[in-house]
Structure formats: structure tokens, C-alpha cells
Amino acid sequence: MSKQREVGVWVAWALLYPTILIMIYNVFPSTTFDGNWFDLISFAVLMSIVVMFPIIVNDTPVFFIHGISIAVFLYYGLFAEMVLTQIAYFTSFMKLRLPKNLLYKIPLNLLMFLMMSIVSALVYYSLGGEHGQTAMNSPGDILPISGYVISYFLTNQLILSLVRKYLMRAPQKFLNKGFWWDFYNTLFVIPIGFVLFILYVEIGTEAIYYVGVPFVSLSFILMLYYSSRRINGYLQRTSEIGHELTGKLEADEVLDRFVERISSLLDVDYAYVYDVNRDDPNHEYLKLIRFYDSEHHENLPKVTLNKFESVSGKVWGNAQGLHYRYRNQWAKQKSDAQGSFIPQDVESVISIPIERDERVVGVLTLASKKKRAYEKYQYMIADILTNYLAVALLNARNYEETKRKSEICPLTKLYNYRYFENHLENYFNELNKQNREEHISIVLIDLDHFKQVNDLYGHESGNEALCELADRLTNIIDDKGTVARYGGEEFVILLPNVNQEHAYHIAENVRRKIANKPFVLSEHIMDKNEPVQVYLTASLGTATYPKDSEDPRELVRHADRAMYIGAKRKGRNKVAAYEKVETAE
């Protein structure tokens, strides 16, 4: 809701509320309050308690306040029902502790309940309804009472629909799920009001306590039962998240999935995951590695914290979690780094150390715009999840290291053929998925007469030459493509978004820089101790997608064919394109 509408709600409430109450008191009939103040106070207390402890059915609260308000209305009239209902709902809003940006809901709802009381009472009076002991004295009284109940229900739905459409700008169908749930709720609650009224007429004040005390006790017990079920639900989902994080995931996947899951599990507006950076043993600091904004207004900011700096830094320094329910509790920890970054509308904060091997390796900080957003058990849930996160990150980094070793040639430190083939396949799949048109070129390189180097200078010198060639290729290609050792003395280059002509020029440049500069071999088996310089040449073949092939593996085979037929067989130290080789044949 816009600020102007919020102000309008407050102004309307301030002008209409006292005027309507005074008018109702003077105009509409009511039974005398003399001698009944204790009963009215008892009704008010009962209604306030009932609204504080709703019965939960299928995660939806059932409020019995309407049932009690009917008994008050039938006996004491409109003014008493209005005042007691307003007191009860105001009590419920006090319990909710709404944030400042939602405080407009208090006057809005109080006005809504006021209008519902007035409209339903007008219908009741127009149908001949009375108050006091004669309100349910004959079968004819069923008509005004039914009119009261139906009009109360329909007025509620109509006002809600108008508020959503014109104030919230979020119109919904009139006959939605909320409508039917309120309908069934009304059918369930109304009989309690009739029973309470009949008992009150028969036995007086005792009826309030005969009905109220057991009812409130049952509500409290059911509330505890629901709370335990809710905690069990949280624990079950926590276990599921833990199992999910233990899969074969990389560290980035673990962090992304963790932040996504915990943000859906708890009331999170902002989430911060810090890593203890230990690159420099003389200066450790917290580095923000993941950030979540529920409204997606902020990207990952560059935030670093020292020990005891801000909330997260204090958690790191003390190795103990913190739980703040209100802004004025955590705002004292504000620093120039994080304090200025956490939005001003944040109220609740929990911050927990991520520990592994009895050492803090990171910090998780969650923030909500609501006051008292996190209960103690939710803090414990977050604590359990941080333990899962610590183990999952360790497993993920071990998995990444194992995967990296399986994809890297241990000699040249280039990618190996396994990685290259998977990378090429994935690149093609992504290209097809996005329906993107793009040239892709492959350059296959094979050193000429490399066996002679091994035979003359030894295999260690041969390895030196391969490593130096890997460095030259990496420097030439840089970030324009991917270089891999394809096997033995064969190397391969993937060139995205490079056409056939451009690929040929790159290959020719590679050939020249191999042939024109000698390779320095130190680990040779010659008699002299000084390094020897050896000139090597290479044969190269190129193939380009989609001109030469639409299949990634076939593209490599075509580059290989171009290299052997167009370069090796024609004297070596040459570059051959697949198209020209095919044309020549």
C-alpha cells in the first residue's frame, strides 16, 4: 500500500471511529449495564484470551471470538458487542507486534470490524430482533438471528474484497478459498455463541467461566500440540535439507542451495554467508560469499569484516551465536562495513558461527523485517543447518579437488581429453538449448617427429618440451578459447565464436610460434651439463561448426583428419583446414 493510502486510513480512523461509537451509544437500543460490569469485563477478558490462543486446523487459525461476540450482542446490544470486539482485536494486534510499515492494518481492521458490527446489527433490527433474555424466546427469533449471522459473514467478505481491490491494488475472486474457509469457520463457531447465550440467560455469570475456562484450556493445549507438530515439521525439513546438501555438489551449488532452502524454511528477508579468509595467516577476515535479498533489489556486495566487527564479526570472534528480536538490540553492534549495509527496516537478526574441527570457518547471518521473527527453536534449526553446511562445504571442496585432478593433466596442468570432450559436448548442448547460432572451431596440434626427442634426449626432456608447449599455447590462446592435452604429443584448442578463416589464422600463428623459437631442455641425457636448445615443428588441422560438422565428436575427428592428411602427409610443419582437405581429395 502506498504511503498516501496509509495516511488516509489513519485519518479516516481518527475521524470516524469516535464519531461512530458515540452515535451508536446514543441511537441504538441496548440493555442496561447497571450491575453487569463484572459480566462485561469477564466477556472482554474471555474474548481477548480466545483471540490470543486460536485453534489451528490445517495450518489455519480458527478464532472463536465471533461466537462469543454473538452472545454479547444478543444480550447486551450493538454498543457492547462493538466495544468488546474492538478490545479483543486490539489485543491480538498488540501480540502480533506489527512492523512500522504494517501498522496501518490496526486502524484498517478496527474500522472493518466496526462496519461489520453495524451492518449486521441493522439487518438484525430490521428483521425484528431484540436483546436480553427474549432474544431467543420463540421460533420467530431464528429469522433475525440468521440475518445477523449471514450479513456479518457477507459484509466481512465484501469489505475484504473492496480493500484488496482499491487499497491493496490486489483484486481476487470473491468466491476464493478464503471465502469458503471463512464460511466453514462460521458454521463451526456460531453454535458456540448460541450455547453461551442460552447458558448465560439460565445461570448468569457462571456460564462465562463454565464455557470459557475449559475452552481456553483446550485452546492452549491444542496450541501446544500444534507448536510441537510445527517443530517436528521444521526438523523433518531440516533433515531433508541436510541429505540434499550431502550429494555430489560443488561448493557454489552447496551455497546456492543452502541459501535457497533456509530462506524458504525461515522468515528471511536477507541472508549473509561469510567465509573466514585465511590466505594470509597474518590477517584473517570475514568475506561475504553469498547474499540473499527476498525482493531481489541488491546484488552480492563486497563486504569484509574483522573479528568483533559488527554482528557477524562478533560471532566469529566469540565463536558464539547471537539472537536479536528487535533492531535496537543489534543496532548497537553497527560498524561502518556491515552496519551501513543492513537495511534500516530490519528488526530481527540471528547470527551463527559455521564450525568445523572446533574452529570457526564462516558465519551465517539471517535478518527479517519483522520483530520477534525467530523463535528459540528456529535459532536451533538454523544452528543445525550450519553444521550441515560446514560438512557439505568440506565434502564439496574435496569433491571439487578430486574432480579437478581427474580433469587436469598432471604433467602439463592443462585440461585432459576427458574434460575437453565433456566441455565440448556441454557447449554444444547449451548452444542448441538457447537456439543460438555461433561458429565453433577446433584446432588439433601434433608435434612432428617427437619420438626422436625422447630417443635422443630422454623422456624427461620430452616432458619438458610438452610442458613448454603447453605454456606457449596457453599464452597464445589466453581467454579466447580452451586448451587441452589430447594425448601423447597431441594438443587441442576449442575456439568459441571463431569462424573457419579466423581459426586458420590462429592455427598458423601457433605453428609459427612453435617453429620459430627453440625449446630449452635441461633434463637431457647428453654428456654436457648445459641446457640444449631444440627446434620443433608441429602439424595442425582445423575444422569449424556448422560448416564442417554439426556433431561435436565428429568435428574433432575432422580436425584430426585435416591434420594427418593435409599437414602430416604433405611434409609436416603445416596448417590444414578440413574443407580444403576434402576438396583436394
pLDDT of residue 534: 94
Q: Determine how many CB atoms are found less than 10 A away from the CB of residue 262.
A: 22
> Which whole number is the average pLDDT over 182-204?
84
Report the share of the chain in percent with pLDDT over 70. 91
Position 520 pLDDT exceeds 80: yes
3-204 shares its CATH topology with 417-584 = no
Distances (CA, A) of 128 to 25, 66, 142: 19, 21, 10
| Exposed / middle / buried, residue 358 (Cβ in 10 Å: 0-12, 13-18, 19+) | exposed
What is the number of other CB atoms lying within 10 angstroms of the CB of residue 209?
A: 12
Strands 270-277 and 538-545 turn out to be: unpaired
Cβ-proximal residues to 139 (8 Å cutoff; 6+ apart), any chain: none
Compute the Cα dihedral for 289, 292, 293, 299 and give only its sign.
positive
Question: Residue 489's pLDDT is what?
Answer: 93
What is the average pLDDT across 251-276?
90
Of residues 231 and 101, more confidently modeled: 231
pLDDT of residue 31 exceeding 70: no
What are the tens digits of pLDDT across the range 202-254? 888 888 888 778 777 767 776 777 778 788 888 899 999 888 888 778 888 88
The fold for domain 417-584 equals Alpha-Beta Plaits (3.30.70)
Superfamily of domain 251-399: GAF domain (3.30.450.40)
CATH 1.25.10, domain 3-204, yes or no: no
Let me know: does 350 contact 326? Beta carbons within 8 Å: no
What residue segments make up the domains of the chain, in order of their start? 3-204, 251-399, 417-584
pLDDT band with cut points at 50, 70 and 90 for residue 512: very high
Gyration radius of the chain over CA positions: 38
Kindly give the residue spans of alpha helices, DSSP state H, lying in 105-205: 105-126, 142-162, 177-203
Q: Between residues 443 and 183, which one has the greater pLDDT?
A: 443
Which three cell numbers mark 337?
A: 562495513
How crowded is the C-beta side of 525, counted as CA atoms within 13 Å? 10
CB of 150 closer than 8 Å to CB of 186: no
Q: What value does the mean pLDDT of the chain take?
A: 85
Q: Which amino acid is at 545?
A: Y
